[in-house]
């Protein structure tokens, strides 16, 4: 078996591109999380007047839902407001609906970005494994200098 330098370089380039993408997504995640928490705190300050925090636990539990489940939850909030008010212990005439929908839309953005991060990260790891396998093969079976075979940082 012959060491394929072009394949190794393309894997290394793809891995580096994925690393840059991960860094960018991570930075975007920081800002989206911050926006979500700002909206969440603002919503809770404005609508959890009794300070018994049922809203906090409901929202935190909904944060654990998957993306498709969250989409269903947003649709439920939009279409079944009386039941949502009962669940959130809000008065039915409450003006919280637009704020709650905005909060859950921020949560959807956050979930979407987290899914993208996980997908890119798993691809980055698989390229890392391919990279390591090729590098191991190269160091054992070829007479290439270590500068060419080792990764560029």
- Cα–Cα distance for residue pair 87/93, rounded to 1 Å: 14
Q: Which residues touch 65 (CB under 8 Å, ≥6 apart)?
A: 73
- The vertex-43 CA angle with 30 and 110, nearest 5°, equals 30
Domain range list for the chain? 5-149
- Cα–Cα distance for residue pair 76/66, rounded to 1 Å: 15
- Cα–Cα distance for residue pair 57/31, rounded to 1 Å: 23
Structure tokens at 22: 């991960």
- The vertex-26 CA angle with 122 and 105, nearest 5°, equals 100
Q: Mean pLDDT of successive 10-residue segments in the chain (153 residues)?
A: 69 88 96 94 78 77 93 94 88 86 95 95 84 69 50 44
pTM score: 0.76
């Amino acid at each position: 078996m012959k060491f394929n330098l072009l394949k190794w370089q393309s894997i290394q380039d793809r891995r580096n591109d994925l690393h840059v993408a991960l860094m960018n997504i991570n930075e975007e995640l920081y800002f989206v999380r911050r926006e979500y928490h700002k909206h969440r705190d603002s919503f809770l300050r404005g609508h959890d007047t009794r300070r018994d925090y049922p809203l906090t636990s409901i929202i935190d539990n909904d944060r654990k839902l998957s993306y498709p489940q969250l989409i269903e939850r947003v649709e439920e909030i939009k279409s079944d407001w009386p039941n949502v008010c009962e669940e959130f212990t809000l008065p039915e005439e409450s003006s919280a609906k637009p704020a709650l929908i905005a909060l859950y839309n921020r949560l959807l953005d956050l979930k979407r970005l987290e899914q993208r991060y996980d997908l890119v990260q798993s691809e980055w790891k698989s390229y890392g494994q391919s990279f390591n396998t090729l590098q191991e093969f190269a160091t054992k079976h070829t007479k290439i200098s270590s500068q060419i075979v080792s990764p560029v940082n």
